[in-house]
Homo-oligomer: A and B are copies of this chain.
């Protein structure tokens, strides 16, 4: 047998998004690129902002000696300082470069964090619907994912959570704005969640990390503010990626920010830096670290995403779809008109519309639409959505 048992399991279970991606490639070959309305992938068609392109061009045109060499595993001090200064300006908490570790995107960051903090069988709570890869990231490091429910508006159900936190709970992982629902957790929820965590820490005499995966932090609509986690709980770690806010997901650049006031931050950061190396990431890509240094706080096309959200939400609710209105990211997670979300997604494919079944996010009975696409793709998909609504009696 060429591969391990876990690999066989992973191939069976995982990869709904990737599966749709492959179906999309086949359909585009069959019907022509412009006849397929692919809303399955979180791969922004938007180009990176001009500032990014200019910065990369500067770096490439006047390369400095040593700019492609290894640097300390935590990343360049100047980039970490730039991130710390931005975070300080946003949170009024005195971050320094020492609180920041540059990573290969948020995916790399989360793997490094879980390897650093998890003992075998430690539990990590995630809220459904969730990004499907989270369960891999936890299990990669011997942890056990525990799925907690959300309420009708995809906000954490704290009553249910209370019963799911045990003496084995090592971390609660949140992701707001959320993939796949697009909902933003308000400050009040973060606050209540943190209080519950502290109550349980006291009850079990344990330490529970609040980890916030924030790749969509800068894609927020309707003028909402982003509630940072740091003031609410001591053992907090935030993870950011520039995949979405600078539209460079192929470049794998992000960071870990540890709460500067976290009581045991020295061993935590030492561990994170060490595992950044020994899990095989070694360091975040050098040129990209230098590129994003001067681009902290920039985000692309938020207005355009909001406009697309409005269009899609108005159209689909007009057809009778049941949708929690997203306040961020570029996803929408409508209820499937029929219980079997896989069957519904397959039906949409008859009209060349590609989406992802909710079961890929731990929430069957829904489907995810990714609207980081051109307007013509969104508009082109409307006929399929209308026909499906009709067919299934909305």
Q: Which residue of B lies closest to A10 (CB)?
A: B274
Q: Quick check: is A207 within 8 A (CB to CB) of the other chain?
A: yes
What is the interface residue range for chain A against chain B?
35 or more
Q: Which residue of B lies closest to A56 (CB)?
A: B60
Chain B residue contacts of A7, Cβ below 8 A: 115-117, 267, 271, 274-275
Known: A104-B280, A286-B250. A2 touches B140 (CB 8 A): no
Which residues in window 117-138 of A have CB below 8 A to B? 117-119, 122, 133, 136-137
Known: A60-B61, A277-B133, A279-B140. A287 touches B251 (CB 8 A): yes
Chain B residue contacts of A288, Cβ below 8 A: 285, 287
Shortest beta-carbon distance from A96 to chain B in Å: 18
Contact B268 A281 (CB under 8 A): no
Task: Report which A residues bind B (CB closer than 8 A).
Answer: 1-8, 10-11, 14-15, 18, 21, 41, 43-45, 47-48, 53, 56-57, 59-61, 63, 65-73, 104-105, 107-112, 115-119, 122, 133, 136-137, 140, 207, 235, 247-252, 262, 264-265, 267-268, 270-271, 274-275, 277-283, 285-288
Q: List 29 A-B contacts (CB under 8 A).
A: A1-B264, A2-B264, A2-B267, A4-B117, A4-B118, A7-B271, A7-B274, A7-B275, A11-B274, A14-B274, A14-B278, A18-B73, A18-B277, A53-B63, A68-B247, A68-B249, A69-B250, A70-B249, A71-B250, A105-B280, A108-B280, A115-B140, A133-B277, A136-B278, A137-B280, A250-B285, A250-B286, A252-B283, A287-B287
